[in-house]
Structure 1
Amino acid sequence: MTREPRPFDLQRIGRGLPVAEADGALRAALAGGSAVVVAPPGSGKTTYVPPLAAAVTGGRVLVTQPRRVAVRAAARRLAELDGAALGERVGYAVRGDRVTAADALVEFVTPGLLLRRLLADPGLDGVAAVVVDEVHERSLDGDLLLAMLADVRQLRDDLTVAAMSATIDAGQVAAQIGGDSPAPIVDAPAALYPLDISYAPGAGPRSDDRGVTGAFVDHLAAVAADAHAHDGDGDALVFAPAVRDVEAVAAALRRHAPRAEVLTLHGRLPRAEQDRATAGRAPGDPPRFVVSTSLAESSLTVPGVRLVIDSGLARVLRRDTVRDMAGLVTRSASRASADQRAGRAARQGPGRAIRAYSEADFGAFRRADDPEIAHADLVSAMLMLAAWGAPGGAGMRFLTPPPEGASRSARRALADLGLVGPDGRLTADGARAARLPADPRAARALLAAAEWGVVPREAGEIVAALEGDHRDAGGDLARILAELRGGGRGAREWAREADRLARYAAAPAAERTERADGVVVALARPEGIARRVGERAYLLARGTRASLPPRSGLAGAEWIAVHDAQRAAGGAARETGAVVRLGAALTEEDALAVGAPLVETRRDVSVVDGRIRVRAVRALGAIELGATPAAATPEDARAATLDLVASAGIAALAWDDGARALRARMALLRRALGAPWPDVSDAALAADLGGWLLAAPAPRLPTAGDVRDGLRALLPWPDAARLDELAPERLEVPSGRAVRIAYPNPEDPTAPPVVAVKLQELFGLADTPRLVGGRVPVLFHLLSPGGHPLAVTADLASFWNGPYGDVRRQMRGRYPKHPWPEDPWTAEATRRTNRALRAGE
């Protein structure tokens, strides 16, 4: 007989928690199937809402926290209040560590772990409610999880979903998880303790291209030590951006405050050290410093803190779309983040926050952090969505949709890894990789390592080493592995992770004898295979360049596999604009073998001195392996012409006078009559090269004759027959001569057609000729017998009756051999001199 588990004592758990005052509203919302809980730090939402959800739904509750240390801390706190051992009724599960019973009522997990459970069990059988906490952090896994839970709720209307945060766009989240109608929004009260905020800027910059400056590290430690010495017996929480900065500040604090206990808190610490920092100090212990990354900003409470020292810096993920690189950079935090950090000092009583920067700096901070999905490498997300049956996230509801460019790049990377097919759906290897608790690139390397003779333990060691922070290793993975295998800093955690990862790798048929690190990196990132193109510069298969750091152990290697490269400035980047942060040497044989799926023969088409030059290039991605000359084909000509026009415009084509004149005539008809006469502007012709010029290209660049023929092909039928009638090439003047009409530039919408003719050839002409069926008048440029301009007119009658008299007086002495009659109306129009006219009588 199965015994019903005893209910949580909510009165005991909620004692002293402000969020418990909203119990009625919370119960009503949870009973309806969805809720958005907005409650500030210190209100107790993480402790109170999960057991309340278990009481309302009568079933098992999964709760996500964005970080593993927060998962364990939240589970430990609730278990203590419940009075049961951790793991019995309240448990947790993180990667590589699970303490929970099969019938536990509340289980805390990371979003990443819950995502993988969803892939294995899309219906979440046996789960009554999911509570997603700290939604405001907008992590990539958190955004994916909310979108997938919105899908699950369409299939399981009995599943309760709650989203919780300190600060959030509650309306948007409510619409996402609520189903047919938005989820109720519950605002819980705040714990209002006095908080004093002051500013203590340093003398120099806080950071530079390499990260936090040494001077600022010392300033941060000095401010913290001085404030701690004057603020009584409370603990101090110091925020630094990256793991190495945390360690540097902790070392400086030990110098400034040698009698104090200084602890560090970040995601790479052993579990015992993390738990020690988050458990609070025992009675009688001296006050302490806890130096933390943003991990302690909102997702967990460090008990006893009454003083916060904030660097105002954060480590944020940024993607370089031009170079197709993503990485963490140090930059100013947001104002929302700075406020969250300051609030840590007043969660359990009055507190003080010191910002180690100026108030003007704070005012220049951006308002809030961008969602991670806007800048992240989306390879893992795209694999997850493909496994979910929604390649690219099609049809799913996201708070922020994945950017199209980054999504496309990620899907291409998955295809290069062999994890998705041309349709974006999972391959067999992709399905296996999606089930592994590892990044898709690492999963692919683990799955494929055996084919290259790499034993599971070595594969696990290499992949585990890739996850660390090794900015001081000169980018050389071999050096890092040697230090870890020799028991260097972080060796114990690395060995534990290597053991975990090795379980997913297969045993090879024959063991590899030479170095395996480069092969494993290349398997994980084939687009990172690179060849030396300078002293320290390398060209990567994906088409970007990066330089080795000075004194790197990889210096001189002809081929390397790059795991991480980031944009950089200064000497380290050596004109490539990027630096290799982590990589391994490769033999050419391994580079070509592992990179074989990227090897192709392509045609390199260029225009040199007006002629098409074609090379058949064998290349590994962007890395040229060899080339031979080749004869141009019509497709080569098409590509070369398109590139030529894209770079230099329509004017780069072979225009002659005939082609230019035809285009100008067509442009005038378009301007005067509109459709069906074609648009022959620069933009229109450039946009439709394939339609009018390259429909049947020859294996060469188009000639002027091709341009004329292409333009004529645009003429509409049957209107084309009237081209010469409406816009003739020449105009017959009274002298009997046919004079060429100069039609205006197609890009000039107001210029008229012009006829330049000697004045004497127009004697007797009263009405100015008009083109396009009488719609467009001709503008005459009247010339002297020597061809010099005398007048410009579109009204001949007015000219003969007025200005002609002045022109006659000025010109007849200069040109006495030519007729200048007093009455131009009755004079004979002619090109001849007076003598020739008399001789012809």
Structure 2
Amino acid sequence: MTSAAFDLAAIGAGLSFAAALPDVAAALDVDHAVVVSAPPGTGKTTLVPPLLASRVPGRVIVTQPRRVAARAAARRLAQLDGSTLGERVGFTVRGERSVGPSTRIEFVTAGVLLRRLLDDPGLDGVDAVIIDEVHERALETDLLIGLLSEVRLLRDDLTLVAMSATLDAARIAGVIGTDERPAAVVEHAVPAFPLTERWAPSPGPRLDERGVSWEFLDHVARTTVSAARDLTRDDPTADVLVFAPGAREVAEIARRVRDADGSYDVRELHGQLPAAAQDAVIRGRRASDPPRIIVTTSLAESSLTVPGVRLVVDSCLARQPQRDAARGMTGLVTTAAPRSSCVQRAGRATRQGPGIVVRCVDERTYAAAPARPAPEIAVADLTDAALLLACWGAPGGAGLRLIDPPPADSLADALTVLGALGAIDDEGRATVEGRDLARIPTDPRLARALRDGSPLVGAALAADVVALLSGDVRIADADAAQALVALRSGRTPDARWRTDADRLRRLVPATPGVRSGLDGTGLVIALAFPERIAQRVERTADGATFLLASGTRAGMRGPLAASEWIAVADVTRAAGRAAAGSGAIIRAAAALSEAQMERAAQHLMTDRVEAAFTNGRVQARRERRIGAILRASVPVRASADEGRDAVRRALQRDGLGVFAWSEAADTLRRRLSLVRRELGDPWPDVSDAGLLATLDAWLGPELDALAAGTPAARIDLAPPLRRLLPWPEASRLDALVPERLEVPSGSRVRIGYPDADDTSARPVVAVKLQECFGWAETPRLVDDHVPVLFHLLSPAGRPLAVTDDLASFWSGPYAQVRAEMRGRYPKHPWPEDPWSAAPTRHTKNRTPR
């Protein structure tokens, strides 16, 4: 049987996509790159692989974004083919493999194929690759498209097919094709069965400080039971599919449904279940079995087909990766599910006939959700991806045809991590160390912890911890060590964790005689994430706040909050009481001894003098730190260089306002600024920016004095400013911008010069109107460039007029001013003819005649 061709007619019986196979074959006759778009459940994942197997002599690889989907697709195709799984059709996922020498079609996860490409860039023996579920925009799928597009430049015989339920076909065709000829697109549409939409909004909030609220979970369970009873009363063969954001919510809703109505076969479906339990759900049920209510994560959204479903209850929530650049955190957060995902979920009810979707929100909330999910490359931690690209020889994705390039800031953070691990060189290329880490199928930081932690705590514990952190196990009370106790004892059964831990242990040398116990858990975590070593800084009523070496403050509840030091494996943004006012909450950690902390964080330890210019003087302390965590601090005297640097930093941060500007210094600066504005060089730039850029040129001796401890209040800035005066031009300063202006009354009035950073204001003379009688020509400063602006004042010193044209004022507006003021100030002269009146600063009785 192994040499026979696949019987496409038999395999495709009852599958609508069978009608599209001739179009796919015709497209492959023209080109080796094709995009296939068809709704979920039409049979594209089942039919396209054997079609390709009938056209190429080598193996056909089909990628899936999830392990359960890869296993299910392989098992389904083998069943339809009538062969044993692992013969003609097989699968390979992390920790599990069922293939043989005669396997023609192999289903794999995208991560498996990525690491296979690193070992065999030419994919020897593989003649076709199908990338399924492209629309999910999983990071590993995006990377595969980029790498395989490059492989096809070297292997023009390699067939590449991208498949999706819904995708931007033209865009994907342009990426997997060439600039001259995009890939062909085959679209298959089927008439949709009618879908009835219902709305069941919760009376309370969906989310609270801990995540999904208990009240909302109760509501989803009640809605599910009520809708299921209505459906199965008329159609006992129908099943119900309930979508929840994560495994915890799946378990809670399933428990509530079982408690409410025991007549249903309530099943859970998520990535943490053993493979056998997942497969049992996907196989469906016998007609004699009770109706099923299957509570699932997004696992069943598009990559899996669950038979018999006629009703979908949707929480309209999703768990998605989200990066917090400010805190250096990336984690899964619960958010409103994108509307495109909700449409995919609802479509599960109409695969075999008319269906119903009940959305546990109102229509306005649904409409406000994002239209589609963000590509994972835009929001996820890119450390693993960056290492893979470096090993491929395309640091940062340079030169690859990617659907979206990695964000520059996320990529820079990832490269910083890889550089600290020694995984890349200064050019971003993978080192020998980096290639070794890339061969361990987990995050590079965890790979380093496995390798470096094994000699310290034993290979068994190191592998157990890394498998725990790599998987989806829920860690109660954020205590990773206690989670390991539960896993090892079987109280928390998780076959995948045990399989992954065993596989990881085989990747490092055995460590006979090394025994650490669970107290080594924190050390392994700290080796992976040294920047997340944390010290308790505050106790609260029900928890504590910790300061991480990275500078982030995060809250924690539970027994572990009593620890002085912890190593944090997972920290995420949060709100409410759980975050202890920090804006972040610790989801997984382990206690850490001080010796373990110092061993893991040696490269973060500093012992230096920190000088600061605060409250007007230099102060210094000798500080020992682990990243942002202060271990010890004692006052010391700053050296001259340390003091000068502290003053410079303060000036750059706070500006020149740290000084108390004397009137003489401020006036000199304003005068110089006006000359500079009008005449330019060689007159100095005395704006804030100009002075800060030339500190040593004008403030050198004062910087030394400040560094030695002189308070800023005792520094007079007038002498330093005079150092900036250009010679011989400086001799003209008083002529260009005099400090005072003599007015006709004989008074010498101070000139108000504009602020040094004002580029348009003019010098102002505020003088009593009577002191300027008969003055026709407005004075001009700076070689006649700038007319003085007069503020003519009343005898009480209040402004009466503002003018830079005295002649026009006396001939016009003065008459109106005289009419209004002569009665108010009768003791002062208000002549009808100001041209002939004697200027005076006195009253009429003292005015010279």
TM-score, normalising length: structure 2: 0.88
1:494 equivalent to 2:502? Answer: no
Determine if contact 1:265/1:291 at 8 Å carries over to the other structure: yes
Q: How far did 1:461 drift?
A: 1.7
Q: Which residue of 2 aligns with 1:138?
A: 137
Q: SS of the residue aligned with 2:220?
A: helix
* 1:200 aligned partner, one-letter code: A
Q: Which residue of 2 aligns with 1:352?
A: 356
Matches within 5 A, 1:222-371: 222-228=222-228, 229-230=232-233, 231-282=235-286, 284-371=288-375
Using the TM superposition, name which of 61-70 and 456-465 deviates more: 456-465
Q: How far did 1:289 drift?
A: 2.2
Determine if contact 1:434/1:440 at 8 Å carries over to the other structure: yes
Q: For the residues of structure 1 that align with 2:322 and 2:145, how far apart are their CA atoms?
A: 22
* 2:627 aligned partner, one-letter code: G
Q: Which residue of 1 aligns with 2:703?
A: 698
Distance 1:686 1:262, change over 3 A: farther
Distance 1:20 1:493, change over 3 A: closer
Matches within 5 A, 1:275-674: 275-282=279-286, 284-452=288-456, 454-467=457-470, 473-508=476-511, 511-513=514-516, 515-535=519-539, 536-549=544-557, 552-628=558-634, 629-634=636-641, 637-638=644-645, 640-646=647-653, 648-665=654-671, 667-668=673-674
Q: How far did 1:650 drift?
A: 5.0
- Deviations along 1:744-799, one digit per CA (max 9) or x if unpaired, are 23555553211235667656542112234444321123468997766543222234
Q: For the residues of structure 2 that align with 1:68 and 1:470, how far apart are their CA atoms?
A: 16
Matches within 5 A, 1:142-181: 142-181=141-180
* 1:626 aligned partner, one-letter code: A
Using the TM superposition, name which of 660-669 and 615-624 deviates more: 660-669
Q: Which residue of 2 aligns with 1:216?
A: 216
Distance 1:774 1:190, change over 3 A: farther
Q: For the residues of structure 2 that align with 1:117 and 1:272, how far apart are their CA atoms?
A: 26
Q: For the residues of structure 1 that align with 2:606 and 2:384, how far apart are their CA atoms?
A: 26
* 2:242 aligned partner, one-letter code: V
Q: How far did 1:509 drift?
A: 7.3
Q: For the residues of structure 2 that align with 1:624 and 1:140, how far apart are their CA atoms?
A: 38
Q: For the residues of structure 2 that align with 1:396 and 1:110, how far apart are their CA atoms?
A: 21
Q: How far did 1:722 drift?
A: 7.5
Determine if contact 2:225/2:261 at 8 Å carries over to the other structure: yes
- Deviations along 1:709-738, one digit per CA (max 9) or x if unpaired, are 57975x999998986665555545567776
Distance 1:612 1:205, change over 3 A: same
* 1:146 aligned partner, one-letter code: I
Q: How far did 1:266 drift?
A: 0.8
Matches within 5 A, 1:789-808: 792-801=802-811, 806=818
Distance 1:764 1:462, change over 3 A: same
Q: Which residue of 2 aligns with 1:19?
A: 17
Q: For the residues of structure 1 that align with 2:240 and 2:682, how far apart are their CA atoms?
A: 78
Determine if contact 1:449/1:505 at 8 Å carries over to the other structure: no
Determine if contact 2:534/2:567 at 8 Å carries over to the other structure: yes
- Deviations along 1:280-308, one digit per CA (max 9) or x if unpaired, are 22454443222211100000111222222
Q: Which residue of 2 aligns with 1:770?
A: 780
Q: For the residues of structure 2 that align with 1:175 and 1:741, how far apart are their CA atoms?
A: 70
Q: How far did 1:97 drift?
A: 0.9
Determine if contact 2:195/2:356 at 8 Å carries over to the other structure: yes
Structure 1: give runs of 5+ residues left out of the alignment: none
Distance 1:213 1:786, change over 3 A: closer
Q: Which residue of 2 aligns with 1:63?
A: 62
Using the TM superposition, name which of 162-171 and 772-781 deviates more: 772-781
* 1:745 aligned partner, one-letter code: D
Q: How far did 1:243 drift?
A: 0.7
Q: How far did 1:438 drift?
A: 1.5
Q: How far did 1:328 drift?
A: 1.9
Q: Which residue of 2 aligns with 1:109?
A: 108
Using the TM superposition, name which of 673-682 and 225-234 deviates more: 673-682
Q: For the residues of structure 2 that align with 1:388 and 1:643, how far apart are their CA atoms?
A: 46
- Deviations along 1:181-236, one digit per CA (max 9) or x if unpaired, are 32222222225223222223343333322233334333333333333332331222
* 1:540 aligned partner, one-letter code: L
Using the TM superposition, name which of 302-311 and 147-156 deviates more: 147-156
Determine if contact 1:9/1:82 at 8 Å carries over to the other structure: yes
Determine if contact 1:450/1:456 at 8 Å carries over to the other structure: yes
Determine if contact 1:36/1:183 at 8 Å carries over to the other structure: yes
Determine if contact 2:795/2:825 at 8 Å carries over to the other structure: no
Q: How far did 1:599 drift?
A: 0.9
Determine if contact 1:645/1:686 at 8 Å carries over to the other structure: no
Q: How far did 1:275 drift?
A: 0.9
Q: Which residue of 2 aligns with 1:742?
A: 752
* 1:597 aligned partner, one-letter code: H
Distance 1:811 1:498, change over 3 A: closer
Q: For the residues of structure 2 that align with 1:717 and 1:694, how far apart are their CA atoms?
A: 18
Q: For the residues of structure 1 that align with 2:2 and 2:331, how far apart are their CA atoms?
A: 50
Determine if contact 2:64/2:131 at 8 Å carries over to the other structure: yes
Q: For the residues of structure 2 that align with 1:578 and 1:483, how far apart are their CA atoms?
A: 26
Matches within 5 A, 1:804-815: 806=818, 814=827
Q: SS of the residue aligned with 1:92?
A: strand
Q: How far did 1:643 drift?
A: 4.5
Using the TM superposition, name which of 441-450 and 470-479 deviates more: 470-479
* 2:49 aligned partner, one-letter code: P
Distance 1:49 1:712, change over 3 A: farther
Q: For the residues of structure 1 that align with 2:32 and 2:483, how far apart are their CA atoms?
A: 50
Q: What is the alpha-carbon root mean square deviation over aligned residues?
A: 3.7
- Deviations along 1:33-60, one digit per CA (max 9) or x if unpaired, are 3222221112222122222333444432
Q: Alignment identity in percent?
A: 50
Matches within 5 A, 1:2-41: 5-30=3-28, 31-41=30-40
Q: For the residues of structure 1 that align with 2:691 and 2:435, how far apart are their CA atoms?
A: 45
Distance 1:69 1:679, change over 3 A: farther
Determine if contact 1:294/1:314 at 8 Å carries over to the other structure: yes
Distance 1:598 1:827, change over 3 A: same
- Deviations along 1:362-404, one digit per CA (max 9) or x if unpaired, are 2222211112222222222222222223333344343233223
* 2:763 aligned partner, one-letter code: P
- Deviations along 1:643-677, one digit per CA (max 9) or x if unpaired, are 4553x455445544344345434554566678998
Distance 1:685 1:57, change over 3 A: farther
Q: SS of the residue aligned with 1:42?
A: coil
Distance 1:610 1:357, change over 3 A: same
Determine if contact 1:485/1:491 at 8 Å carries over to the other structure: no
Q: SS of the residue aligned with 1:88?
A: coil
Distance 1:824 1:264, change over 3 A: closer
Q: Which residue of 1 aligns with 2:761?
A: 751
Q: SS of the residue aligned with 1:534?
A: strand
Q: For the residues of structure 1 that align with 2:698 and 2:354, how far apart are their CA atoms?
A: 77
* 1:458 aligned partner, one-letter code: L
Q: For the residues of structure 2 that align with 1:698 and 1:293, how far apart are their CA atoms?
A: 64
Determine if contact 2:248/2:474 at 8 Å carries over to the other structure: no
* 2:463 aligned partner, one-letter code: G
Q: SS of the residue aligned with 1:353?
A: strand
